[in-house]
Amino acid sequence: MIVFFGPAGAGKSVQGNLLAARNNWRWLGAGQLLRDSKDPELLATMSTGKLVDPNIVNRVMGEALVRANDKVSQVILDGYPRQLAQAQWLIENKDLYNRNVDLVIVLEVPRSELMRRLEIRGRLDDTPDVIDERLRIYRQEMYPVLNYFNENGVKIAHIDGTGTVGQVHDRIMEEIESCQI
């Protein structure tokens, strides 16, 4: 598996979908899977910028991983894991879906660029207050997750997420090829 890591607006979904389409892999976006659930309580929590209960996210992601199990050679996770408990669940339960985490790609984008991108994206839950709350939570949660992956031997690549979609994609492909994925 390849895990895309970065704050809202970093380009995880765009790059993950592009990578999946280019290589005939499966993209699994946690946010999209949760939004597709149509659960009113879940949607209300997400609209505040708060994180959804990790056990619910683990269940939704685990079900999606099992469905993708034998259909594709590689799975791209976008927006998951977000918390240490989720990263632990992903590593500890790899036998459930027969996949290892091969690479974590951290898209690095300055806050000013994130705000510009999210303004263009225009989702109802992309208000400045919600965006700032998401960035605060992301900064608080990212280091323990990345440390855990590092301690478990997962390669972590910090990629410059600025520039055109094609430029960022080329940087990602260079890293994936250098890791022989």
> Which residues are known binding-site members for AMP?
35, 50-52, 79-82, 86, 123, 134
What residue has token string 């991983």?
Answer: 65
Binding positions are 35, 50-52, 79-82, 86, 121, 123, 134, 163
Binding positions for ATP are 121, 163
What strands, in cross-sheet order, belong to the sheet with 26-29? 26-29, 75-78, 2-5, 103-108, 155-160
Write the single-letter amino acid at 49.
G
Question: What is the C-alpha to C-alpha distance for residues 88 and 149, in angstroms, rounded to an integer?
Answer: 9
